[in-house]
Structure 1
């Protein structure tokens, strides 16, 4: 598709606006979004990099390339979990941008409620 006919807008040099589309069944629950490879390049991200998606709220996901039939339409394919996290619905607009992430140095787990049978 001709770049002038793409259906998303450049918000700033690192952020693009997309229309939300349904994720592929095999992507559901995996924390992935699919974008046109040209859009990945425009965002400065590679396959598997973390992107921040913002609807009414921000969330993050790993970026993967869209399949050929979904390219050139200004879409971001997201599952229901990511849409809920971003507070976005199908056909709504969200923004996406690449982001730098660092591995966690530690992880602390705590019970949500008191544990039954725990000493004390």
Structure 2
């Protein structure tokens, strides 16, 4: 089966978290594919999703729309080109989920069956589950039975695996999907921060220096921190968060030393985003 190359775009909010990829209708027509067909997406990594047809106005655009978690699972960003092909999947007998922090398995079976019925999973996939306390826990699919792309059914058994450190906890697992009402702000931030990080060669080619920092301003609770974390999550960047008062030192030269330490840490974990709050 020949691979197809399409350009990644954001998926409409109503499709987020459903394990779908909205495809250019021309591709569906050319390949004689059907809604629900299993697709293998490949960039830096692989994952699997179900096909969903695009609108007629998207015919011939060469676009694939996927949500933030799917983008993170293949290591791609908006605007990247990825390859896809049709593959076969089996009904899942068992899926092992390994958490990135200590957690009880209580309620896992019911939660996954209810929320992910008919969802396709691949070994190596990451997913975030909401907790009763309002937080989130990150899981990695560490094995499936059978060992191929699998579809969740009512008979699928979910097991809690041992705690894993395979996910870099310093990279936020937040995506642009979670930023409601900040479309214009996201677009500006992507141009000023994400574009230079993903494609520095563009700035070198035209001889323009990329922005080194961005000032986000607004009342508390408007999404400044979430926006910064989303950029880091979408670019797979190390995220360092601190407040302005933390930098201030009591003695002469102490503040400068703290700033040097922070920037050294960022350099060692490049690419990095430093977020300074309460300036």
TM tier, smaller: 0.7 to 0.9
Aligned pairs for 1:28-107 (under 5 A) are 28-106=16-94, 107=157
- 1:18-71 per-residue CA deviation (whole Å, 9 max, x = no partner) reads 000110111111110001222124445311011000011111100010012322
Asked whether the equivalents of residues 39 and 51 of structure 2 are also in contact (C-alpha less than 8 Å), the reply is yes
TM-score w.r.t. the length of structure 2 is: 0.34
Tell me which of the two structures has the higher relative contact order, counting C-alpha pairs closer than 8 angstroms and 6 or more residues apart: 1
Bigger helix fraction: 2
Q: Would you say how many aligned residue pairs link Structure 1 and Structure 2?
A: 101
Structure 2: segments with no counterpart, 5+ residues: 95-156, 164-279
Instruction: Provide the C-alpha distance between the structure 2 equivalents of 1:105 and 1:41, rounded to a whole number of angstroms.
Output: 33
Task: Using the TM superposition, give the Cα deviation of residue 108 of structure 1 relative to its aligned residue in structure 2, in angstroms.
Answer: 5.0
* Structure with max Cα Rg: 2
Instruction: Provide the C-alpha distance between the structure 2 equivalents of 1:109 and 1:58, rounded to a whole number of angstroms.
Output: 22
Moved over 4 A (4+): none
Q: More displaced, 15-24 or 102-111?
A: 102-111
Question: What is the DSSP-based 3-state SS (H/G/I as helix, E as strand, rest coil) of the residue aligned with 2:39?
Answer: strand
Instruction: Provide the C-alpha distance between the structure 2 equivalents of 1:91 and 1:81, rounded to a whole number of angstroms.
Output: 15
Bigger strand fraction: 1
TM-score w.r.t. the length of structure 1 is: 0.75
Task: Using the TM superposition, give the Cα deviation of residue 111 of structure 1 relative to its aligned residue in structure 2, in angstroms.
Answer: 4.8
CA root-mean-square deviation: 1.7
- 1:88-117 per-residue CA deviation (whole Å, 9 max, x = no partner) reads 00000000000011212343513545xxxx
